[in-house]
Structure 1
Amino acid sequence: MNILIDSAVAMPDVQSSVDVRHIAIERVGVRGVRHPMLIAAAGETQPTVANWEMTVALPASEKGTHMSRFVALLEQYRRQAMTPVLFCDMAQAMLPLLNAEKGDISASFAYFINKIAPVSGVASLMDYEVTWTAKAQVAQDAEQAAPGSVEFELSVQVPVTSLCPCSKAISDYGAHNQRSHVTVSAMFDDPAHVDLDGLIKSVEKQASCELWGLLKRTDEKYVTERAYENPKFVEDLVRDVAGQLKQMAGVQRFRVVAENFESIHNHSAYAVVEG
C-alpha cells in the first residue's frame, strides 16, 4: 500500500514544467464539449445542452495548461440556473483555477420561447440558436472593478418571414416571400442589462412577419396577409433591426446579419450592418 501511495505522489506534472521555446499562446483549452446547461429565463429554469469552448492565455514560460480543470468548472456550475451575470462570474472564476491572466468561455445552445398564435391562441415552442461569450481578464490594479474585467457578448439567430417589395409592386397578384435568418451579435457593457426575450421579440417585429411553431388556418391567413402588407428588402431588415439596437440599453456595439433564402432564386440575399 505504501508503495502505491509513494508512486502516486511521485507522478510528474509535465504540463507545469518550464517551456524553453519562450513563445506565448494566445488561447489554449477545450472546444466541442457538449454539456448540460440550465438557463434562467422568463421566471423559470430552462434545461438545454450547450456546445462549449473554454480557453485561457498561456505564458511563454509554461509548457501546458490543465485541460481537466475546464470540465471540472463545468461540473461546478452545471446545476445552477445560468444568467449572463453568472456566466461572467464563471469566466472570472476560471482564471485562478487555470493560473491565467485572461480567458474566454463560449456556450452555444438552443433556446425556446413559448409563443401564442396570433388568431387561434394556440401555444407552441419556437426555437432560437443562441451563443454567449464571456472574455475575462485579471484586474490590472486593485482599484479596477470586477465587472469591468469581463466582456459579455450575445449572439442570437432569429428566423422570420420576409416578402419582397419589388415583387409586390410589379405583380398583378401575389408576391414572392421566403424564410429569413436575422443574426444579431451584441456586446453589452453590463451583463445585467441583457434581455434575451426582449431582443428576440424586437427583431421579430422588424420582419415582414414573425414565425410560430404551430398555426391553425385562421393564423395562416393572418401571417400571409401580414407579410403582404409589410414587405421588406434584406436591406430593410438589417437597417430596422440596427435602429432598434441603437436604442437598447447597455449595448456597446453590435453586428446585424440578414440572409433571405430566396424562393425564386438558387441563392440568398445578404446584408450586414455594424454599429
Structure 2
Amino acid sequence: MSSMQSALQRQLRDVHSEEDGRRLELERAGVKGLRYPICVLDRANGQQHTVAEIDMSVSLPHRRRGAHMSRFVELLNRHRREIDIRRFRALCAELRRDHAASAAHVTVKFPYFVEKRAPVSGAEGLVDYSCTYGASVTADAAELWVSAEVPVTSLCPCSKAISRHGAHNQRSIVRVKVWFSRFFWLEDLIALVEESASCDLYALLKRPDEKWVTERAYERPRFVEDLVREVGTRLRRDRNFPRWEVEAESLESIHAHSAYARLSYPGPARGGSAGES
C-alpha cells in the first residue's frame, strides 16, 4: 500500500470499528458461501487443484459494530495454495488474531477426485467426493474435523432372503464426519466407508467389472442400519477419531422415499463449535 493510500485510509471513517450500544455479543460474523480456487493435499499426486465454497467467521464483542470483512478474503488469499488439515488450525488461529476475536471458525467444502481402477479390467476413472475441512479456535482450545460424502451400493438383506431370484439394490450416500488429533489422508476415510458397503462405486466399468460388482453386492447385503454400524465399528477402532458422526441415506429403488440411519460417538468434550454453519 502506497503512502497516499495509507493516508486516505486513515482519513476515511471506519464504521465497523465504531461502538455499538445494544450490548449484544455476536457468536459469529463473517463471510459465507465464498467460492475460491484452492490447492489441497493429494496422496497420489502431491496436490490437487479444486474450487471450494468457504465460510469464515469470528465472534464479535458487544461493543464493536461489525467485523472487518476484507480481512477474511485477505487471509484466504495468503493461504489458498496450502489448504490442508496439517495447517488448518494455524489458519483459523491467524483469523482469530487478525480480528482480535475470542473465537474463529472456518469451513472449506470442495469436490475431491480419486482415481479408481475397475476391479477386473483395471480401467481407470475419476470419482468425485464432497469433502469439508472445519476448524474452530478459541484462546485455549482448538477443534478440527473433516467430513466426506461417499456414494456406495447397498443391497437389501430382506429382499435377498425372501426372493428366489435377485434382490433390490440402490445407490446410498454415506456422510461421515470425524474429529481428529493426527494427520490422515482423505483417501483412507473414503476407503473406510466404501469397505463398509455392499460395494463401492466406479466411474468406468466393463462387462466383467459389472458382473463382479453385481456379485459382490449380492454377497454383502446391507440395510441402511447395517451400513452406519459397519462404518461406526471401523471408526471406533481408530484412536485418532475420538468423536465422529455417520449417517446414511439409501435412495430406495422400490420406494418413492429414502431409508435413513444415523450413529454418533460423543468422545471427550472439547471447546468451540462442531457445526458446519
TM over 0.5: same fold? yes
* Offset of residue 195 of structure 1: 2.7
Cα root mean square deviation, aligned? 1.6
| Residue 155, structure 1, aligned to residue 147, structure 2 | yes
* 2:165 equivalent in structure 1: 173
* 2:66 equivalent in structure 1: 64
Separation of aligned partners in 2, 1:98 and 1:9: 18
Separation of aligned partners in 2, 1:124 and 1:49: 20
Amino acid at match of 2:151: P
Separation of aligned partners in 1, 2:197 and 2:262: 15
Amino acid at match of 2:152: V
* 1:145 equivalent in structure 2: none
| Residue 258, structure 1, aligned to residue 248, structure 2 | yes
* 1:144 equivalent in structure 2: none
Percent identity over the alignment is 45
Alpha-carbon spacing, 1:19–1:172, altered in 2? closer, same or farther (3 Å): same
* Offset of residue 261 of structure 1: 0.4
* 2:95 equivalent in structure 1: 94
Which one of 74, 77, 81 corresponds to residue 75 of structure 1?
A: 77
Runs of 4+ in 1 over 3 A off after TM superposition: 2-9
Separation of aligned partners in 1, 2:7 and 2:198: 70
Separation of aligned partners in 2, 1:18 and 1:117: 62
Separation of aligned partners in 1, 2:106 and 2:262: 26
| Residue 242, structure 1, aligned to residue 232, structure 2 | yes
Separation of aligned partners in 2, 1:249 and 1:84: 17
What is the SS of the residue equivalent to 2:62? Answer: coil
* Offset of residue 133 of structure 1: 0.7
* 2:22 equivalent in structure 1: 21
* Offset of residue 8 of structure 1: 4.7
1:86-235 matched pairs, under 5 angstroms:
86-139=87-140, 149-188=141-180, 190=181, 192-235=182-225
**What per-residue deviation string (whole Å, max 9, x for no partner) do you get for residues 181-231 of structure 1?**
01101111x2x3333111110110110001011111110000001111111
For structure 2, the 5+ residue unaligned runs are 266-277
What is the SS of the residue equivalent to 1:88? Answer: helix
Q: TM-score, normalised by structure 1?
A: 0.92
Alpha-carbon spacing, 1:199–1:5, altered in 2? closer, same or farther (3 Å): closer
What is the SS of the residue equivalent to 1:273? Answer: strand
Separation of aligned partners in 1, 2:69 and 2:8: 23
Separation of aligned partners in 2, 1:134 and 1:5: 33
For structure 1, the 5+ residue unaligned runs are 140-148
Separation of aligned partners in 2, 1:196 and 1:4: 44
Alpha-carbon spacing, 1:173–1:96, altered in 2? closer, same or farther (3 Å): same
Separation of aligned partners in 1, 2:208 and 2:107: 41
Contact 2:86 2:183 in 1 (8 A): no
Aligned residues: 262
